[in-house]
Amino acid sequence: MGVLENKARARLFYKYLSKVYDQVNPFIWNEEMRTEAIDLFGVEAGDRVLDVGCGTGFATEGLLEVTEDLYGLDQSPHQLEKAYEKFGKRGPVQFHLGDAERLPFADDSFDAVWSSGSIEYWPDPVATLAEFRRVVKPGGPVLVVGPNYPRSGVFQKLADAIMLFYDAEEADRMFREAGFEEFDHHFQGPDYSPEIAITTVARTPEADTDEAEVESTA
């Protein structure tokens, strides 16, 4: 487990990174990548969307161009302070300080869940992905953007020491163990490193037909 796959250390890390996050972020996760990922996400106007690990609101800003029913959650109060500066505490986004592994929302609360640049800090990615599946309505999309595993042995050792980096095979395992049956992986990145990020779009399992019929006649 990498040094930043610890909630306390990650919060401390973002206490300082939040000061320059918006200046550094475009070198790794830029607007073009965000637009491409939103197109893959496939949400529509009126969909209720949760942005987990919303940080300063970079992805949030793009998602607001698609739907106005948007929630943001982050474990870093310092990152959220930057988001408040952009959107306001009582603006178009309902922000929550919270833990991705224990989402403070009821089952089937959202039409879709988005998370970009957050999975690498989760101590238990499978548990968190299961939480995403829990709060999304049956058949709804879950999109997760994370760091692709480096090819170089030297960079692999460095990556393993810092945080979670993973390849498509590991993504398959995590999503399957979290209860997803349908998902696709896409590689994204800026021109200098076009496969720096792995973006997975999964679908929550559809509701059981027999159970749905029982509920409808109850």
Select from 32, 9, 70, 82 the least CA-distant residue to 192.
32
Q: Does residue 203 belong to any structural domain of this protein?
A: yes
Question: Is the per-residue pLDDT at 36 higher than 90?
Answer: yes
Q: Does residue 30 belong to any structural domain of this protein?
A: yes
The reported pLDDT for the residue numbered 18 is 65
Tell me what the mean pLDDT of segment 151-162 comes to: 65
The reported pLDDT for the residue numbered 45 is 96
Tell me what the mean pLDDT of segment 184-213 comes to: 86
Tell me what the mean pLDDT of segment 25-43 comes to: 92
Q: Does residue 121 belong to any structural domain of this protein?
A: yes
Residues in the chain: 218
Tell me what the mean pLDDT of segment 184-211 comes to: 89
Question: Is the per-residue pLDDT at 120 higher than 70?
Answer: yes
The reported pLDDT for the residue numbered 8 is 72
Tell me what the mean pLDDT of segment 49-67 comes to: 97
For residues 18 and 191, which has the higher predicted lDDT (pLDDT)?
A: 191
* Pairing, β 49-52 against β 112-116: parallel
The reported pLDDT for the residue numbered 27 is 77
- Which structural domain, as residue segments, surrounds residue 35? 7-217
Which range is least confidently modeled, 74-83, 138-147, 191-200, 209-218? 209-218
DSSP 8-state class, residue 67: -
Distance, in Å, from the CA atom of 178 to the CA atom of 8, rounded to the nearest integer, reads 24
The reported pLDDT for the residue numbered 207 is 81
Whichever domain contains 31, its CATH number is: 3.40.50.150
| Torsion, CA 114, CA 120, CA 121, CA 124, rounded to 10 | 80
Q: Please provide the average confidence, as pLDDT, over all residues in the chain.
A: 88
The reported pLDDT for the residue numbered 72 is 98
Which range is least confidently modeled, 127-136, 171-180, 184-193, 206-215? 206-215
pLDDT over 70 percentage in the chain: 82
For residues 17 and 216, which has the higher predicted lDDT (pLDDT)?
A: 17
Residue entry with tokens 């050792």: 157
The reported pLDDT for the residue numbered 29 is 87
SS3 for 182?
A: strand
Q: Does residue 1 belong to any structural domain of this protein?
A: no
DSSP 8-state class, residue 62: H
- 142 bridge partner residues: 113, 202
Q: Does residue 166 belong to any structural domain of this protein?
A: yes
Tell me what the mean pLDDT of segment 182-191 comes to: 96
Q: Does residue 2 belong to any structural domain of this protein?
A: no
Q: Does residue 126 belong to any structural domain of this protein?
A: yes
Considering the entire predicted model, what is its pTM?
0.88
Tens of pLDDT, residues 70-116: 999 999 999 999 999 999 998 999 999 999 999 999 999 999 999 99
Domain count within the chain:
1
